[in-house]
Amino acid sequence: MVRIAERSNLSPQEFLAWERLQPTKHEYFHGEVFAMAGGSPRHNALCASVLTALRSALGDGSCNLFTSDQRVSMDRGERYVYPDITVVCGDVSLQEGTTDVVANPTILVEVLSSSTEQYDRGLKWEGYQRLPSLTDYVLVSQREPRIEHFRRESSGSWVYRSAVSGGRVTLSNGATLDIDAVFDRLLELPGDA
């Protein structure tokens, strides 16, 4: 994926002040600002389906679920991203000095697009691994009924699992995602080929 910086040499504080005034979302990486594109109907429907499935699976109310409008802080405020879905189990912690930047995600979900897949699997994933609160990273395909799952073990290492049609993904807290239910009729929608 080619990412072209829209702005550069901004401090984290300058970025947050500027970003809050923008009509569109931008990610921030060590002084560089990158515009984010909107999603296809399939991408957005998959986000909604996973969010609904997670809400049902996490049912006890101890977790809060957020859409792609939720900004998350990484690398001690040197990076800001907008995961497709952010889940915080327990109290929500905000980055110090902010009212809109989550600092303690438990589960992060990205629906893969051809333009973002390399970033979601590479640089973004490297940053996510450094979040001490993160227990699960979930990647959802747009091309086939497939969900990939990285789960942090008690040792701190990450275990990878993948599930396809007929399977399930079980998160660290025991919540499960049924692949067929998540993808039900959604691959028929316009999206990444």
5 occurs within a structural domain = no
C-alpha triplet 113, 63, 116: angle, nearest 5° = 10
What's the pLDDT band for 115 if we cut at 50, 70, 90? Answer: confident
What's the pLDDT band for 8 if we cut at 50, 70, 90? Answer: confident
12 occurs within a structural domain = no
Domain with 103 in it: 40-188
22 occurs within a structural domain = no
Number of domains the chain contains: 1
Q: What is the CATH number of the domain that holds 157?
A: 3.90.1570.10
Q: What is the pLDDT of residue 59?
A: 84
67 occurs within a structural domain = yes
3-state helix, strand, coil in the chain (%, to 5): 25, 30, 45
10 occurs within a structural domain = no
Record the pTM.
0.94
Q: What is the pLDDT of residue 193?
A: 59
